Structure 1
Amino acid sequence: MRDGSADEQGGAGIPDSFQRLWTPHRMPYIKGENKPKGSGPGDGCPFCEITMMTDEDGLIVARGRSVYAVLNLYPYNSGHLLICPYRHVADYTDLDDAETLELADFTKHSVEALRKASGAQGFNIGMNVGGVAGAGIAAHLHQHVVPRWGGDTNFMPVVGHTRVLPQLLRDTRALLAEAWPHR
């Protein structure tokens, strides 16, 4: 007779009515593995290292003179972009005028490309400056551009703490690079 007891589950806990989705690939991110420990470009900063890769390998959507747009490896939604200065700076006030202008311009281009490529209906745009403000990589400033659609928040992130992304990052990068405004 199967009663769903812990013994029947191999000692895996008290049975309940919940289904489980396991995402062990997220554990390195949660534990902060490979997170840069230093504060300089030579200390393993991923935003500095990405710029030395091909656009496809680094998931770079577009490059400018002072900044570039790259897909977030841990996106909140498909198409979640980061606008990063090439220069390794931690604080928004450390950007020079050219970097500030191009960061704003790339933010506008991101919105245009995401609307064209995916039909995004809204956006969350912003940056977390400093670790206490929630910056995952506080040593290198970056602005988030997160596309949103009606009904894109469902039970998965709220109850399951899991995001469902309908497209692989490489496919998303290719679509956004093609949709990026070329002026």
Structure 2
Amino acid sequence: MATPLHPAPASDADPPVLVAGGPFTAVELQAMEHDGVLRRLIADAYVPIQCGEAPELRARGLAAILAPRLVHRTVVGRLTAAWVYGCAGRPDTPVLLVDGSRRMSTLRATHRLLVHEVYFGPFDVVELAGVRVTSPLRTAVDLAIHSEEGVSVPVLRRMLAQPRLGLTVGLVARGLDALPRQPHLARARRVIARVAGAPAS
């Protein structure tokens, strides 16, 4: 079961996430974006221009564009999880993770996605607004291992700069040390060394 992440205080009470078909068409939503009434949150999901972003709102945006079965059977991960936490740019192709014991062939998406089979530890998944997301620590470890240095270093610095995420360089380094041997572990350690050697941006 995913652990709920402590929510940040919300300034907006559940602002609407709008997608085509209820109650507006895609053309109407695009027109309202053009007029400055809405802004695109992710893919074809829009929110009122005045509402502030929070991890819970980004998670709701993802849920709005994904098939319900995907929301229930996958975990948002890697750079997409970092975006949910407010530490990476909006993903063009959301990354979803599925437990290695599940059959990926049964998953169907309505939007372009990347889906990876992984294995989760007992504390690797948290829940935000009903969406399962890799925990901040698992996200940081995954980024160090799977993303190129030029991408992962600035994102990790932003994650470390957010007290709410509860990360330190030492904690991420210990997370890497706890992993079994894998091809990119040496690169991941270089990434963490680079992050430790410069202030967060």
- In the superposition, the TM-score normalised over structure 2's length comes to 0.27
- In the superposition, the TM-score normalised over structure 1's length comes to 0.28
Higher helix share: 2
Q: Which has the higher contact order (CA 8 A, sep 6+)?
A: 1
User: Higher Cα Rg: structure 1 or 2?
Assistant: 1
